[in-house]
Amino acid sequence: MATTRTSLPESGIYTVSRLTGEIKALLEKQFPIIWVEGEISNFKQPGSGHFYFTLKDSTAQIQAVMFANQNRGLKFMPEDGMKITGLGRISVYAPRGNYQVIFEHIMPQGMGELVAAFEQLKKKLGDEGLFDLARKKPIPFLPAKVCLISSATGAVVHDMIHVMTRRFPGIEIEILPASVQGDKAAREITDALELANRRADADVIVVARGGGSLEDLFAFNTETVARAVAASVIPVVSAVGHETDFTICDFVADLRAPTPSAAAELIVPVKKELLAHCRKLRVRMAKGFDNMVHNRRRALRDMAKRLIDPRRALGDALLRLDELAMRLVRALDREIAKRAERLAWQQKRLFSRMPERLITNSRAFTNRLAQRLSSAVQATCLRENRHRVDGLTQRLLALSPRAVLERGYSITQKVADGRAVTTTGQVGPGEALTIIVSDGSIGCTVDRK
């Protein structure tokens, strides 16, 4: 049996309600329909008509309930100590956190062989996927033709024809007679299904019979009928037995109806209701169309009010165009002036960096440097020469006779020839001499030597 994984909540912590809900969903999915046998104890039937009891065996027990609308068809009254076999489903009663079996049908024990065969075939076909919802075909909303497979002489056919023609007069119904009980029933039902599919002119097939015991419904629990229903290209509705009866045909069919009359109601809508609904739709469509036209006209009027005279729009556009043109001219003038100023600046920079101008400037600079160098050289030479002259002058002055004279010396010269007298033998008595001192000369005569 397949397992179901549940995702943890974001917080990682389950609430009691969520945990109970996921356990309930898990159990109901894992055990949709099961047969259970055991002994009844603590049987109770309150005023609601529901059956409440405990089903137990030698080592375990489980709570069970059978609601009033299911137990009305029972031919016996359950009581404590009675051993039963029942068909039901597992559920959880959330307020108390108890799990229980909700029985659809129960019967006293003694039908074990048929129940075992039923369960064996149910498991086999279930494992093959014949009960999967994904393979079930939808039932057409309004079938043009209904193919009915049932006993031609039974009340079921007449009841279904009556219900379908009452709900939708004129609907086409084809009856393919087949035995619904006995050794030949399974083969005749299978042949009727194959014939309906070969003709392929019906929109839906209904396999129907009234209620009965498990032995009476045995034909609808056979593998041949189940596979014929599963292989049908035309959607099949199973309307076998009463509401509490379940067959393999019910599980394989595209739709299970609780009773044949209910099947007729499920597949055939009420013509008067459809006509009334069509009239309502026609009225709604007309009103909707009128409202749409009204809204569109109102929108058109609003748009017409907002629509501007083309000449006025053209005038506004021309004014806007003139304004933009003037703005463009001013922008161009500013851009041209800016570009011209930048060009002049670039030209000035370029002119200042022209080779000829650079050479000229370099030559002028070189000349200035040469002049400055020449002046510096001249000044330096003049300074050196002047310093030298000063030195020589000082030396000359130091060697000058005048300097000697200023120190108290004098020069004696002969008046006759102007020769300097350096020795006494150069002059005689009475000879005229000139004595030169620092501030002048003195004339004298030699008296003696």
pLDDT at residue 2, rounded to an integer: 45
Could you tell me which of 230, 240, 133 has the C-alpha nearest to residue 181? 240
pLDDT tier for residue 116 given thresholds of 50, 70 and 90 = low
Question: Mean of the pLDDT values across residues 171-177?
Answer: 92
Dihedral of CA atoms 151, 156, 162, 166 in degrees, nearest 10, equals: -120
* H or E element at residue 194: helix 185-199
pLDDT tier for residue 322 given thresholds of 50, 70 and 90 = confident
Question: Mean of the pLDDT values across residues 82-105?
Answer: 85
Contacts 24+ apart (CB under 8 A), 345-351: none
CA angle 242, 243, 244 (to 5 degrees): 90
How far apart are alpha carbons 307 and 290 in whole angstroms?
25
Could you tell me which of 86, 79, 36 has the C-alpha nearest to residue 61? 36
pLDDT at residue 1, rounded to an integer: 43
Q: From residue 359, how far is each of 349, 355, 389 by CA, in Å?
A: 15, 6, 43
How far apart are alpha carbons 390 and 216 in whole angstroms?
164
Highest mean pLDDT among 78-82, 215-219, 330-334: 330-334
Q: Cβ(105)–Cβ(86) under 8 Å? A: yes
Domain spans in the chain, listed from the N-terminal domain onward:
16-110, 141-268, 273-299, 403-445
pLDDT tens figures, 398-427 = 777 777 777 777 888 787 787 887 787 778
Question: Mean of the pLDDT values across residues 168-196?
Answer: 91
Instruction: Kindly state which CATH superfamily the domain 141-268 is placed in.
Output: Hypothetical protein af1403; domain 2 (3.40.50.10550)
pLDDT tier for residue 227 given thresholds of 50, 70 and 90 = very high
Secondary-structure breakdown of the chain: helix, strand, coil percentages, each rounded to the nearest 5: 50, 20, 30
Which amino acid, one-letter code, is at 421?
Answer: V
pLDDT tier for residue 379 given thresholds of 50, 70 and 90 = confident
Integer-rounded Cα Rg, in Å, for the chain is 70
Percentage, residues of the chain above pLDDT 90: 27
Question: Mean of the pLDDT values across residues 29-41?
Answer: 85
How far apart are alpha carbons 163 and 208 in whole angstroms?
14
Which amino acid, one-letter code, is at 252?
Answer: V
Q: Cβ(89)–Cβ(33) under 8 Å? A: yes
CA angle 110, 111, 117 (to 5 degrees): 145
The residues facing 63 across adjacent strands are 54, 100
Could you tell me which of 90, 72, 80, 75 has the C-alpha nearest to residue 32? 90
* Count of all residues that appear for the chain in the document: 449
114, HSE (Cβ side, Cα atoms, 13 Å): 19
At residue 360, the 3 state secondary structure works out as helix
- In the CATH scheme, what is the code of domain 16-110? 2.40.50.140
pLDDT tops 50 at residue 306: yes
